Amino acid sequence: MDTEKITLAELAPGSGLFVHHGGPRITDPFTVCDGYTAAYAAHSPGTLYLAGTGSVEAYENDVFLIPPGAVFRFLPIKGLRRMDVYYCYFSLDAVGKHITEILSEQFAHFRRLIDCSEKYIRAADTACRDIRDIFIRMIDEELSALPCSGEALSGFLRVLLVKLLRASESHAAANNHSRMTDEAVRYINKHMYEKISLAGIAGHLKLSPSLVCRRFKADTGMTTAQFINRVRTEKIKDILKNTSKPVEAIPEMFSCSPEHLKRMFKSLTGMSMTEYRGKYNYKSPARDDE
């Protein structure tokens, strides 16, 4: 199957920004060689086929951000003859260097898309259809061909990206919060002996630290730091109860200060490590008396 190659240099020479309504026809796969694609599933559901990634369900009012060079196409679900899609092709020059830097700093998944470590970004439009309305206004502006259309389109594009990136974080939280927390717990358990930070957990999950912090606390009732302390405390309790490892050697197992571990352990158990060992170790006479 042939791949249609689209270039912004031909579609929008000078501006680096082009918007259109894709219409109902099923097309061959295509790629925008020199620009990003924002695509909005306007009036019916379907499937996004993305080379190297596979198929992704595209519900009505879903919006996708796809990097340059990606080969893709939208197809309607079985039984439907059409799938209307609004397209916006743009270069980062059209966004502006300063705005791009701000968005990259604020939205980690956008930075990863630019760095080619993210295949695409997906979001669901708001109940008020804010993103759809921006697409429609951009298409109308493109068709008007007024002298000031270029500046107006660039302004709409920046608003579109902010709303899309914010909505993508909300979409992830609404649909993947339990999975996100489970994955965070697995990561903490796997790396409990190492230095763990909220930023490190968020990087592993490919989400923003603020979103991980908020969602994790809502699901567990604890911050990530509190949960890490409890996991480490339970591990130390297990070592103290079921091994003969010297107490003074236990803090050396963890990549944090011994003083911190000692304070943490006493705060959560009410005993020092030595006291806990004396009371609960499997060889302890005190335990035999219980």
pLDDT digits (tens, 9 = 90+) for 123-148: 988 878 899 999 999 999 988 888 77
Q: Give the domain-ending residue among 143, 158, 175.
A: 175
Percent of the chain, pLDDT > 90? 49
Question: Are 143 and 278 within one domain?
Answer: no
How many angstroms separate the CA atoms of 7 and 89, rounded? 9
Q: Are 140 and 107 in contact (CB under 8 A)?
A: no
**What is each CA distance from 216 to 15, 193, 222, 223, 271, in whole angstroms?**
43, 21, 7, 7, 28
* Strand 54-58 with 85-90, pairing: unpaired
Is 207 a member of any domain? no
Give the pLDDT confidence score for residue 284 in this predicted structure: 62
Tell me which of 109, 143, 175 is where a domain ends. Answer: 175
Average pLDDT over residues 23-45: 79
Instruction: Provide the CATH number for the domain around residue 167.
Output: 2.60.120.280
Higher pLDDT, 148 or 49: 49
Could you say which of 175, 190, 208 is where a domain stops? 175
159 is a domain residue: yes
Flag whether 31 is in a domain: yes
Residues 19 and 154 in one domain: yes
Rounded to an integer, the average pLDDT of 261-270 is: 94
Same domain? For 80 and 171 the reply is yes
Pair (163, 257) in one structural domain: no
Note down the domain range covering 25: 4-175
76 within a domain of the structure (yes/no):
yes
Q: Is residue 93 part of a domain?
A: yes
Q: Specify whether 126 is located in the same domain as 261.
A: no
In Å, how far are 27, 260, 261, 273, 286 from 266, measured between CA atoms? 66, 10, 9, 7, 19
**Same domain (yes/no): 276, 158:** no
CA-closest candidate to residue 231, choices 175, 286, 189, 284: 189
In this structure, is residue 52 part of a structural domain?
yes
Q: Mean pLDDT across the stretch 17-30?
A: 73
Instruction: Find the helix or strand (DSSP H, E) in which 56 lies.
Output: strand 54-58
pLDDT per residue over 197-223, tens digit each? 999 999 998 888 988 898 898 888 899
> Do 13 and 149 lie in a common domain?
yes
- Are 16 and 156 in a shared domain? yes
Choose between 81 and 284: higher pLDDT.
81
Q: Does pLDDT of 1 surpass 70?
A: no
Tens-place pLDDT, residues 26-36: 566 888 899 99
- Whether residues 11 and 147 share a domain: the answer is yes
Q: Residue 252 domain-assigned?
A: yes
130 plus 256 within the same structural domain: no
Same domain for 170 and 239, yes or no, is no
Name the domain count of the chain: 2
Q: Which of these, 84, 43, 33, 88, lies nearest to 65 by C-alpha position?
A: 88
| 220 falls within a domain | no
Same domain, 21 and 129: yes
